[in-house]
Amino acid sequence: MRDLRICFVGDSYINGSGDEQCLGWIGRLCEKRFTRQFRLTFYDLGIRGATTDEIRDRWRRECTARFPDGADNRVVLQFGINDVAEIVGSSRRVEEEDSVRNAEAIAAEVSGLYPTLWVGLPPANVACSPMRPSEGMEIDFSQDTATALNRRYIASAAKLGVPYLDIQTPLLANPDYMHSLTFGDQMHCDGSGYGIMADLIDHWEAWSAWFGE
């Protein structure tokens, strides 16, 4: 029986932060693919607030600890939205060039070891900005900076030959998703938004190919 292990590596959108059902998009996505014909094990390696600097530093040891020899080990990446956050009174958390450099390093290293998919960063939650994620910190989000980074990531993925799904463009055009950003925890979408995201990814040919479709 096929022993399929998938590490989902990234930030709070991998984690499903703000979802009242505590499933996020990865829980919903894997539920759609669950079958007794093989063993599916998925690992949530999303850390709320994580930037590409931090993800680049940790991804290898976290995945290695979860991937046994002989299993069908694979990785799905999603990151970048925290990079574009502007700390009020200071600067952007990770500048664009550094974010692209980190993203390319992560994607190149991961795809050199495991089959890899890269899910793009979601829209910025402008409606709830500025946000106060912790005591003494206030952050602001601009859709323009998120759009610019998404475009750079698309180009990076094409250069590396790593399948990339642009979810930002269709989600920006989806009023139900954009409305979901005003619920959740006032920083992320609620469960309905994660459901919309999961449906987009579930219909992605590169994801379906992992299941023989």
Closest CA to 34 of 172, 212, 211, 197: 211
Instruction: Write out pLDDT tens, residues 113-145.
Output: 999 999 999 999 999 999 988 887 899 999 999
Say how many C-beta atoms besides its own lie within 10 A of residue 85's C-beta.
24
Instruction: Write out pLDDT tens, residues 154-169.
Output: 999 999 999 999 999 9
For the residues 98-116, what does the mean pLDDT come to? Answer: 98
Q: If you average pLDDT over every residue of the chain, what do you get?
A: 96
| Cis before 130? omega within 30 | yes
Give the position of tokens 């989806």: 174
Instruction: Write out pLDDT tens, residues 15-30.
Output: 999 999 999 999 999 9
Say how many C-beta atoms besides its own lie within 10 A of residue 43's C-beta.
17
Question: Per-residue confidence at 213, pLDDT binned at 50, 70, 90?
Answer: low
Q: Which CATH class is domain 2-209?
A: alpha beta
Higher pLDDT, 52 or 37: 52
